[in-house]
Amino acid sequence: MSEKDNQKVYFGDKKVSKDIKKDGVEEIFTKVSDNYDLMNDMMSVGMHRLWKRSFIDTANIQKNHVCLDLAAGTGDIAKLIAQKVSKKSIYLCDQNKEMIEKAKERSLNEGFFNKCHFEVSSAEKLPFKDEQFDHVFISFGFRNFSDKSQSLLEIKRVLKKAGVLHILEFSKVENKTFSKIYDFYSYNFIPLMGQAISGDKKSYDYLVKSIRTHENQEDMLKLFNKAGFKDNNYENMFNGIVSLHRGRKCP
Ligand SMILES: C[S@@+](CC[C@H](N)C(=O)[O-])C[C@H]1O[C@@H](n2cnc3c(N)ncnc32)[C@H](O)[C@@H]1O
């Protein structure tokens, strides 16, 4: 293992090896998979639906585009993309097989299965050929990656020239007073909600801590720049609770 591979990364508020983070994240998403959709609605008071809708509506997806929904979870993003493309051109990829199974089942129940392909794989080593995608979307997955820089290089490899990476993620709240209210809500209520709904306080404790130790808006831009993306930019939603970063693969 090289020195770089040995570097520690945040898992919640603790620094651990990349391998330990990967296993920890796997364990958490396996545990939360059954109640994942309900918890998203409860924690964000339904706001995540609006953020995701805006994420996809502003992405300039054309009917013939090929799209990767990376860290796809239960398929919220793929379902929205399916309304924009005309072919079987959506690839859902997640390292957690329980989540991908949920996405598959949902796509069958909700009528978008025929536009989807499903892969269980981690973002750090994507099972796709070079220059396959017009867009790569990551919604609330990036902060969980055990090697963010490596995943960006992989994403760049699988994007077509001029293809776009879109990342929707929790970020840093700008207003100080709002930030205090948000902290109070998330540290005190989200783990309790997790306990009440899924009997699992610990995973939701991780969720709150992982948001605080994730890169802020400007540091995310630096990661994009370092990986060689161009025209990098971001916009905040809800005062920065969430931010949307975009970057283009250089033609
Ligand atoms: C919070 S969920 C987001 C799911 C969905 N995109 C959404 O917006 O609702 C995060 C997902 O990222 C996946 N994930 C975490 N680390 C990953 C990695 N390194 N590669 C691929 N998927 C990963 C988890 O298994 C989980 O399904």
Question: Using one digit for the tens of pLDDT, what is the confidence trace for 207-221?
Answer: 999 999 999 999 999
Q: Phi, psi at residue 137, to the nearest 5°? A: -115, 135
Per cent of the chain over pLDDT 70 is 98
Six token digits for residue 134: 């017009």
pLDDT at 6: 62
pLDDT at 239: 95
Six token digits for residue 197: 């709904």
CA-based nearest residue to 98, from 83, 120, 66, 113? 120
Q: Choose which residue among 99, 128, 153, 169 to substitute to test ligand 1 binding: the one with the highest number of ligand atoms within 8 A of its C-beta.
A: 99
Mean pLDDT of 166-190: 94
pLDDT at 251: 77
pLDDT at 3: 44
Q: Is 71 left (phi over 0), alpha (psi -120 to 50) or beta?
A: left
pLDDT of residue 236 exceeding 90? yes
Mean pLDDT of 147-168: 98
Task: Give domain limits for the chain.
Answer: 8-249
Which of ligand 1's atoms lies nearest the C-alpha of 123? 20
- In SS3 terms, the chain reads as CCCCCCCEEEECCEEEEHHHHHHHHHHHHHHHHHHHHHHHHHHCCCHHHHHHHHHHHCCCCCCCCCEEEECCCCCHHHHHHHCCCCCCCEEEEECCHHHHHHHHHHHHHCCCHHHEEEEECCCCCCCCCCCCEEEEEEECCHHHCCCHHHHHHHHHHHEEEEEEEEEEEECCCCCHHHHHHHHHHHHHCHHHHHHHHHCCHHHHHHHHHHHHHCCCHHHHHHHHHHHCEEEEEEEEEHHHCEEEEEEEECC
Which of ligand 1's atoms lies nearest the C-alpha of 138? 6
Six token digits for residue 36: 């994942």
**Residues with Cβ < 8 Å from 79, sequence gap 6 or more?**
106, 107, 110, 112
State the pTM of this model.
0.96
Digit-coded pLDDT (tens) for 218-227: 999 999 999 9
Mean pLDDT of 54-77: 98
pLDDT of residue 2 exceeding 50? no
Tell me how far apart the alpha carbons of residues 166 and 128 are, in angstroms, rounded to a whole number. 18
pLDDT at 5: 52
Cα(142) to centroid of ligand 1, in Å? 7
Which of ligand 1's atoms lies nearest the C-alpha of 122? 20
Ligand 1 residue neighbourhood (C-beta within 6 Å): 25, 29, 71-73, 76-77, 94-96, 99, 122-124, 139-141, 144-146
Per cent of the chain over pLDDT 90 is 84
Mean pLDDT of 26-40: 91
Domain 8-249 - what CATH class? alpha beta
The answer to whether 133 and 91 are in contact (CB under 8 A) is yes
Tell me how far apart the alpha carbons of residues 46 and 64 are, in angstroms, rounded to a whole number. 31
Nearest-CA residue for ligand 1 atom 15 is 144
